[in-house]
Amino acid sequence: MLTIALSKGRILDQTLPLLEKAGISIPKSELESRKLILDTNIADIKVIVLRASDVPVFVQHGAADFGVAGKDVLMEHGADGVFELLDLEISKCKLMVAAEKNKNLNKSTLKVATKYVKSAKEYFYQQGKQIEVIKLYGAMELAPIVGLSDCIVDLVDTGNTLKANNLVPLELIHEISSRLIVNSAAFNTKHAEISDWIQKIEQSI
């Protein structure tokens, strides 16, 4: 039995066609059901659909053999027990620093609003800047407007949300896309089977 962990939302929508090209399809009735473990067209392959941040956790602990997660999530999670094998080149965006135009970010201590705490700390540490992180889970663009933070670290796709809130992208932290990850132990114990599917998925990119 192989179990694949997929992220909900946009990543799921863009991963399904890749899996279908590779020969793994999930019936529409399964996707629309309330089941937590979905059947595929192959009897010994199951799919679980999770919150994006949970995918590397399930893969790390062996509850899933491999999975698909955004690079932003993997940067926050770390790499214990997980091999990052393929850039699937889907769900592309950028992890960026953004602030109000002409905002002075050369302060002794910057207030940074983000849910990407680890990535923000590492980035500003490399810049030699002291920061105070304010962890938020949404409405990131609001933080600089109301004076909660000097800047934000967040994913930027079209940039329209920033523009609508009079913010500008300033510094690129990392290019983001979805990656195929595998449980390191499963990669050894089920190497032939997993490698075969990885090769098929790679050919479908």
Q: What residues have CB less than 8 Å from 29, skipping those under 6 apart?
A: none
Share of the chain above pLDDT 90, in %: 92
**Residue 78 banded pLDDT, cuts 50, 70, 90:** confident
- Using alpha carbons, list the distances in angstroms from residue 5 to 24, 36, 85, 154, 157: 13, 11, 15, 24, 24
**Residue 80 banded pLDDT, cuts 50, 70, 90:** confident
Question: What's the confidence (pLDDT) of residue 104?
Answer: 87
Fold type of domain 2-91+177-204: D-Maltodextrin-Binding Protein; domain 2 (3.40.190)
Please determine, for residue 151, whether its predicted confidence score (pLDDT) is greater than 90.
yes
From 3.40.50.300, 3.20.20.70, 3.50.50.60, 3.40.190.10, which CATH number describes the 93-175 domain? Answer: 3.40.190.10
Please determine, for residue 79, whether its predicted confidence score (pLDDT) is greater than 80.
no
Average pLDDT, whole number, for the chain? 94
**Residue extent(s) of CATH 3.40.190.10 domains in the chain:** 2-91+177-204, 93-175
Give the tens place of pLDDT for each residue, 90-143. 999 999 999 999 888 888 999 999 999 999 999 999 999 999 999 999 889 999
